Structure formats: C-alpha cells, structure tokens
Structure 1
Amino acid sequence: MKAIEFSRYGIPHEVCACIEIDDLGAPEKGSIIVSVIACSINPADLLIIEGRYPGPESLPSRLGIEAIGDVLSVADDVKEVSPGDRVLLLDRQNWAEKVSTPASRVIRITKKLDPLQAAMMKVNPPTALLMLSDYVDLKPGDWVIQNAANSAVGLHLIRLAAQRGIRTINIVRRESAVAALDSAGADLVFVDSEDLAHRVRKEIGDSHLPLALDAIGGSSCLHLASCLSKGGKLVNYGFLSGDPCMITPLQAIVSSITLHGFWLVNNLFQGSRQKVEKTYSEVTELILAGTISAPVEATYKLEQVQQALAHASRGGRSGKILFTPNLECND
C-alpha cells in the first residue's frame, strides 16, 4: 500500500517520498478503514514539511491534512458510519491509499459533492465562514478587507460576503491577479503598497470597515490595520511572509484596533461535535448551491509526490493541487 511520508524538515519536494507500507488489517475497536479518494495539498502541509507549522512529535511521519474517502470496513462497535459511506477525514495523515482512523474522527458527507471540491472542504471553507461570523456582527453594507484575496480562502470569503450583502476590499501582491478577482465578484481590488489606507479611504470614504483578515503578516498586516475603522478587529490566520504581525501603538491605543488569531484547530475542532457537524453541513450546502468552489489546477497520483509538491510550491498558480489515490475506482 502506498503512502507519503517525510523523514526530515526541508523543501517539500526534496524531503517527501512515496513509500510502500503494509496493508491495513481489520479495524481496531472504535476504528474504521477508509479508501482515500482525493486529498488536497494545503499550504499548512507545506509549512509542516518546512518545520514552520505545528506538526508531528517525531519523524519520519505521514502527511495530509485534508482528504475524503469511502468507508471499507468498520469495527464491530462502530455505529456512526457504515461500509460504503463517504466521509471527510479529520486526522492529519491522509496522503495514502487507505487509512485507519477512529470513527469519531470523520464526518459523513453526501456523494452528491464533487469529490475534488469535497477534498478541499475541511480547512478553507469553514475558515472563511467562521472568520466572517465569529469576530464582528457584520451588517449589510459593511466593508471587510482581506489580503491574499486570490487564495482559496479569499475567493470563498468574497462569495460568502456577497451573499450577505457585505462588501469586500481585496488586496493582492501583483497586478496580474486583479482581473480574476473582478470576475469573482470582488467589490474593490488593490495591489498592496505603503499608501494602501489612503487609496482605500479615497474609494469608500468614512464607510464602516470593522474587520480585516490577514494571511500574510509583516507589513501587509500593518497596511490592513491602517485601513480599519476605529475599534476594528484584525484577524490573522496565516503567515505567508514569515514575518510577525504588525500594528502600531497608535493603532492599538488611539484607534482601539485589536489583533486576534484564528486557527481552525482552536476555533472549530476544540468545540462540540455538534458545532463541527453543523459547520460542515453548512459548507456542504454552500458547495452544492454553487456559492463556493475552489479552482483545481492539477491532480497527481501518490507516486508523483515530487512533481506534485514542486507544483504546489510554485507561485502564480490558478488553482489547487490534489492527490487522487483512488478517484477512478470510486467515482
């Protein structure tokens, strides 16, 4: 049976390998065996491999934050799912042909979902959904500003905000990304710069801008904070720059700007099972309705791990990269 692992931290396509491991036997008490259909390469996967994100306690280790699959077998005491059910895998070692996992660590999902979209639904859709809901009581007509707006989270957020009558200001790092965001329904798009706040306020005047969402850190974080209305909240959920988040003392003291951190592990998975299931039920309905989706640029087999990770690490992509261990034989 094939699986992907890494034995040292470093450049992803240099330190990861597709290996052969023993096939899985019968599921242990409380567990199930799942045939993995598709699994995405999330930015957090790459950061784990590079040693810049919470990861395994020891190496070598298996990988894979996001995946879906079909249940092959269940232990005698498992009642939550049955063989043939499609499930979203919540553990983090899913880049494999099959996985053994506790039945409590999956969410049953409908087979009506496109399998590639389903394989990308664990992290980015609930991240956008919860950040838009959990920090500010946004009203129709309010503005939200975000950087990395052409990311999967950014695109989801544009569509979710539009559905609620909330307007978005979307910041990117290159001019070539602007047109795609205009087509996606972004209200305003700017290329990041030192004078961002001046350009934003020139467009929106004194309109209420209470929420900023930062995936980058560093100076980009500071530019977002400069745009916020008094009392605004700046939510950091990523560190693409590798630099610390930045707000000035005047922003914190005089403008009452506050900095918050969002991590799905804390904001969703440490909550109740009921909240987790409710969140993914909402995400499922949004995908089925066509409200949110993520573009896919390429899919690879597990044995193509070096090509896949090199592709996922390149800038300027038009979509996500996924592994499809068992897609053809399941769909």
Structure 2
Amino acid sequence: MRAVHLPAFGDPTEVPAYVNIPEPAQPAAGQVLIEVLYAPVNHNDLLVMGGNFPYHPELPAVLGNEAVGRVLALGDGVTNVRQGDLVTPPLYSGTWRERMLVQADELFALPPDADALQLSMIRINPLTAGLMLSEYVDLQPGDWIVQNAANSGVGRAAIALAKARGLRSINLVRRPELIPEIQAAGGDVVLLDEPGAAAKAAALIGNGKVRLALDGVSGASTARLIEFLSPGAALVAYAMMSGEKVAPGDLMPLMFKSISSHFFYQNRPQYRSKIPALLREAAQMVAAGQLHTPVARTYALSEVADAIAHTLAGGKVLLAPQTN
C-alpha cells in the first residue's frame, strides 16, 4: 500500500518519503477501515515535518493531519457509521496513505452529496475559525471582527462562520486582485493589508465595534491589526505566514485599549468536547455551499514533492491517494 512517510525531522522539501507499507488489518471491535479519498497539504503538515509544531509523531510516521475517506469495513460493535459512508478521520492520524484503520467513536457520516474535496478540509481550518470566534470574546450579532490572511482556508472559514452567526468582518489581503474574490466570498469590508487600512475601515463601519482580531500573518501585520480594535477587544494569533517573529509598529494600544492577546492551538484539551458539534456545522455548511476553499490542484501520493513545492509557492493543494 502506498503512503508518504516522515523518516526524520527536517526540510519539508527533502524529508518526506514515498513508500510502500503493509496493508492495514481488518478492523477490530470499535474500528473502521477507510479508503482515503483526499488529504490536504497544510502548512501545519510542513511544520510537523520540520519538528516545529506542538505535535511530534513517533518516527517513522505516516504524514497527514486531515482527510476525507470512505468506510470500507466495520469492526464489531460499530453502529454510528455504515459501509460506504464518507467520514473525516481524527486529527493527526496519518492520512497520506491509501487506506487506514481508525477508531469509530469520533466518526459520523458526512453529507453524501457534498463535495468530497471540500469535506477533506473541514477538520482544521473551519474548527480553528469557529473556536477563535467563540472562545475569546462574547461576540454578539452585529459585532465586527478583523482578520489578515483573509484568503487562507482559516480566513474563508471565518468569513462564512461569522456571517452565519450574524457577525460582520473586515478582511485584509496582500494582493489587490484578491479583493473582489474575498468580497464574493462574503467579506463585508475587504482592504489591502497596508498602513492606513484601519482609518479606511473606520470610515466604512462608523460606530461599529471591532471586538476580535484574527492574526495568521504575524510581524508588521500584527501591529496593524491592533489599530482596528475597539477597547477591551482580543487579538488571537494562530499562524505566522510571514515568518516574522517580531511585530514592528506601535504596540502601545495593547495597553491603552486594554486589548488581550492570545495564541490559538486547536488540540488543547479544553476544546475537545466542542469539536464534534463544530465538525457537523462545517460539514453542513459545505453541503449547503456556504463554506468553500478554492483548490488549486490535486496530486498523487507519488507527486508529494511537487505538492509540497506548490503549497510553499501558494495555493491550496490536496493529495489524492487513490490516483495512480
């Protein structure tokens, strides 16, 4: 059976290995066997490869943090899913392979007519967005949020979930050609992430309260986000796409406006009881066409090096393990 292994931590462009591994056994009691249909290449996959992520698998390990699969066989006692159902395996279960055994207790049947490519991406980005929208500020309908990285998977999920919850969003992008695209995705205000953007937003939203900022970029963009925030708001960082570890700019408003700052990591114990409901919400939004992330391309497992290079260059790509 084909898979992608991580034999050692290192450069993501060098360490992944396309390998043959033994077929999984037939499912034991409480397990299901699934065939993996699509598995995203995420930036956190790249961080895992480099050993720069809170999750460190025991090596060698099959890579892949999320996927969508189809149930092939059931172990004794499994009643929550049936053969043929689409499911999303647990986080960090090693999805870059053709088939895998997973425990059934966390699974549920995904909408059968929903786009399988989109379903493969519900485990990380929509849950990240959903939890950030609920866990730091008691947001009320009509409140505003602001985010950079609005074109990312998390950014698009935040737009869709905010709209479903009656919130309004200010969205920052780094390229002007993305503005109409994010407007079409439901962003209420879309601006370039540049000096002066906060003043433009203030003129557009009037007396609106910006109570939450979502930071996926870091660096100077972090300092700019603070300018948007109302007193008592929260700044939540979840990624550092710029690679910058400092935030040059005026950080005094953090104190003057009593802004709290946080770093989000989905796999913390306090979030686990909330994951099933959020997953179901995301799956239904995919089925309704409310949650969509453009996919640039799919790759076979044997093309994993090209898939990683594409991810590093920009664009959402998926591995398709059933493709030869």
Structure 1 length normalisation: TM-score?
Answer: 0.88
Q: Which moved more, 1:144-153 or 1:217-226?
A: 217-226
Q: What amino acid does structure 2 have at the position aligned with 1:133?
A: S
Does residue 175 of the first structure (1) align with residue 176 of the second (2)? yes
Residues 187-206 of structure 1 aligned to structure 2 (within 5 Å): 187-206=188-207
Residues 177-326 of structure 1 aligned to structure 2 (within 5 Å): 177-244=178-245, 246=247, 250-266=252-268, 270-272=271-273, 275-315=274-314, 317=315, 320-326=316-322
Structure 1: how far apart are the matches of 2:51 and 2:176? 31
Kept after mapping to 2: 8 A contact 1:91/1:105: no
Q: CA deviation at 1:251?
A: 2.6
Q: What amino acid does structure 2 have at the position aligned with 1:175?
A: P
Structure 2: how far apart are the matches of 1:56 and 1:29? 28
Structure 2: how far apart are the matches of 1:171 and 1:163? 20
Partner SS, residue 317 of structure 2: strand
Question: Can you give the 5+ residue segments of structure 1 that lack an aligned partner in the other structure?
Answer: none
Structure 2: how far apart are the matches of 1:282 and 1:35? 24
Change (3 A) 1:107 1:12: farther
Q: CA deviation at 1:327?
A: 7.1
Structure 2: how far apart are the matches of 1:288 and 1:129? 17
Q: What amino acid does structure 2 have at the position aligned with 1:88?
A: T
Structure 1: how far apart are the matches of 2:243 and 2:182? 25
Structure 2: how far apart are the matches of 1:327 and 1:277? 30
Aligned partner of 2:158 in structure 1 is 157
Kept after mapping to 2: 8 A contact 1:91/1:101: no
Change (3 A) 1:105 1:163: closer
Q: CA deviation at 1:245?
A: 6.5
Aligned partner of 1:41 in structure 2 is 41
Deviations 1:30-77, CA, capped at 9 Å, x for gaps: 322211111111221122123321233433221111111122223324
Identical counterparts, % of pairs: 37
Deviations 1:51-107, CA, capped at 9 Å, x for gaps: 321233433221111111122223324444343332110142010001122223433
Q: Which moved more, 1:293-302 or 1:104-113?
A: 104-113
Residues 9-28 of structure 1 aligned to structure 2 (within 5 Å): 9-28=9-28
Structure 2 length normalisation: TM-score?
Answer: 0.90
Structure 1: how far apart are the matches of 2:111 and 2:244? 40
Q: CA deviation at 1:147?
A: 0.3
Structure 2: how far apart are the matches of 1:267 and 1:192? 34
Q: What amino acid does structure 1 have at the position aligned with 2:319?
A: F
Change (3 A) 1:103 1:160: closer
Q: What amino acid does structure 1 have at the position aligned with 2:99?
A: K
Does residue 110 of the first structure (1) align with residue 111 of the second (2)? yes
Q: What amino acid does structure 2 have at the position aligned with 1:42?
A: N
Q: What amino acid does structure 1 have at the position aligned with 2:283?
A: T
Aligned partner of 1:126 in structure 2 is 127
Q: CA deviation at 1:119?
A: 0.6
Question: Can you give the 5+ residue segments of structure 2 that lack an aligned partner in the other structure?
Answer: none
Aligned partner of 1:94 in structure 2 is 95
CA RMSD of aligned residues (A): 2.4
Q: Which moved more, 1:294-303 or 1:84-93?
A: 84-93
Q: CA deviation at 1:290?
A: 1.4
Q: Which moved more, 1:239-248 or 1:60-69?
A: 239-248
Change (3 A) 1:327 1:293: farther
Q: CA deviation at 1:172?
A: 1.5
Q: Which moved more, 1:229-238 or 1:216-225?
A: 216-225
Kept after mapping to 2: 8 A contact 1:13/1:310: yes
